[in-house]
């Protein structure tokens, strides 16, 4: 990281605080990229974090080491292996987090993959694999988390969708459809959570409640962009009004804002962080 990046990371991460002190957050795909930035951001407000990862154990352990060395991290961290496209893994991971931390206040569904091909060349397997991880995985994670949150009467679910779910993109029929699906999932779960709390008499004027929201990042400088050919990336860059890629911390600060108790009146919403790409 160069000096300019460090400076902007400081600026976008914002002041450390205690807005999430005592809270426990589970972040899928939390050991790298946007997910790791979200973990650091939530921890900077005092939350303990549980980072989910699918295959790269070494990277998960590196994340833990870096987290422990970072003096601005308020809470503690754990890592949990699981494939979000398998419902049984999702249930186990949520249970592991409850066993390790005693509670789950914030679920950030961030795990996602791409298999980019023009639609006419996309195999059924390419389609199903991306839908299974990005969309079904979001549902499989949300279900056990919501169950626990409804019992407690409080919680935050934040999905990481994409601007591509709103605009579509050449080569991304599977990814765009999965990310668009998350928008419908968000609004439905937001309605159901409020409905169930109201029916149980747990919806109070000054309560934390259960909210469900989505963040739609634009093109973020992470490993995911490595598969995009340079000539295509140049084209994409030229279509971003603010003229640059997004930094992971710029997504993370919106997530930690939505996760705060004081964001109780924001639910079922889609928060674009895309440099103006959808204007
Ligand atoms: N936007 C604009 N033009 C695109 C494009 C895109 N997304 N994707 C491809 N093109 C253009 C190429 O520039 C090329 O144009 P020319 O013929 O003028 O050179 C043409 O389409 C054909 O492209 P390729 O030569 O690359 O064709 P291919 O069949 O080998 O590959 C592809 C097609 C798989 C779609 C490949 O171009 C590709 O990977 N595109 C990038 C897709 C992309 O944007 N992925 C985003 C990943 S990051 C992410 O998904 C996170 C997020 O939420 C934003």
Listing DSSP states for 152-219 in one string gives: HT-EEEEEE--THHHH--TTBHHHHHHHHHHHHHHHHHHHHHHHHHHHTT---TT---EEEEEEEE-S
Convert the pLDDT of each residue in 190-231 to its tens digit. 999 999 999 999 888 888 999 999 999 999 999 999 989 999
Distance (Å, whole) CA 265 – CA 209:
9
Give residue 75's pLDDT band: very low, low, confident or very high (50, 70, 90).
Answer: confident
In a domain, residue 25? The reply is yes
Which domain covers residue 121, as residue numbers?
A: 3-273
Query: From the CB of 202, is ligand 1 less than 6 Å away?
Result: no
Give residue 17's pLDDT band: very low, low, confident or very high (50, 70, 90).
Answer: confident
**Ligand 1, atom 15: nearest CA belongs to which residue?**
232
Query: From the CB of 224, is ligand 1 less than 6 Å away?
Result: yes
Distance (Å, whole) CA 147 – CA 202:
14
> Which residues have CB under 8 Å from 107's CB, separation 6+?
25, 26, 141, 142, 145, 155, 156, 157, 158
User: Could you identify the atom of ligand 1 that is nearest to the CA of residue 227?
Assistant: 39
Distance (Å, whole) CA 108 – CA 90:
13
How many structural domains does the chain have? 1
Looking at every residue in the chain, the average pLDDT score rounds to 93
Other C-beta atoms closer than 10 Å to the C-beta of 224 total 16
Instruction: Give the Å distance between the CA of 37 and the centre of ligand 1.
Output: 27
In a domain, residue 278? The reply is no
In a domain, residue 30? The reply is yes
Instruction: Give the Å distance between the CA of 41 and the centre of ligand 1.
Output: 32
Query: From the CB of 117, is ligand 1 less than 6 Å away?
Result: yes
What pLDDT, on a 0 to 100 scale, did the predictor assign at position 69? Answer: 87
Q: Residue 145 burial by CB count (10 A; 0-12/13-18/19+): exposed, middle or buried?
A: buried
Could you give the residue numbers annotated as active site? Answer: 175
159-177 mean pLDDT: 98
In a domain, residue 109? The reply is yes
Instruction: Give the Å distance between the CA of 217 and the centre of ligand 1.
Output: 18
In a domain, residue 161? The reply is yes
Instruction: Give the Å distance between the CA of 160 and the centre of ligand 1.
Output: 22
In a domain, residue 279? The reply is no
Whether 8 has a pLDDT exceeding 70, the answer reads: no
- CATH classification of the domain holding 260: 3.40.50.720
Considering the entire predicted model, what is its pTM?
0.94
**Ligand 1, atom 50: nearest CA belongs to which residue?**
114
What pLDDT, on a 0 to 100 scale, did the predictor assign at position 73? Answer: 66
């Amino acid at each position: 990281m160069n000096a300019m990046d460090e400076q902007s990371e400081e600026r976008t991460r914002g002041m450390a605080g205690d807005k999430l002190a005592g809270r426990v957050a589970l972040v899928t795909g939390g050991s790298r990229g946007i997910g790791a930035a979200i973990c650091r951001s939530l921890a900077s407000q005092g939350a303990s974090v549980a980072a989910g990862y699918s295959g790269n154990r070494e990277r998960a352990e590196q994340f833990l080491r870096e987290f422990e060395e970072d003096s601005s991290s308020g809470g503690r961290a754990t890592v949990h292996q699981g494939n979000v496209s398998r419902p049984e893994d999702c249930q186990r991971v949520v249970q592991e987090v409850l066993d390790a931390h005693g509670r789950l206040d914030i679920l950030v569904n961030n795990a996602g993959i791409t298999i980019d091909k023009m639609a006419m060349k996309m195999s059924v397997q390419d389609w199903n694999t991306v839908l299974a991880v990005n969309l079904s995985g979001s549902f499989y994670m949300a279900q056990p988390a919501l169950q626990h949150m409804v019992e407690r009467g409080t919680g935050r679910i934040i999905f990481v969708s994409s601007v591509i779910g709103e605009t579509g993109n050449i080569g991304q029929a599977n990814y765009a459809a999965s990310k668009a699906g998350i928008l419908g999932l968000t609004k439905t779960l937001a309605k159901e959570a409020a409905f169930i709390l109201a029916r149980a008499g747990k919806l109070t004027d000054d309560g934390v409640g259960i909210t469900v929201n989505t963040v739609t990042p634009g093109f973020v400088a992470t490993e995911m962009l490595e598969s995009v050919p340079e000539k295509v990336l140049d084209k994409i860059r030229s279509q971003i009004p603010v003229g640059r890629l997004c930094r992971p911390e710029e997504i993370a600060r919106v997530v930690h804002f939505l996760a705060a108790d004081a964001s109780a009146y924001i639910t079922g919403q889609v928060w674009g962080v895309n440099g103006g790409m959808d204007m």
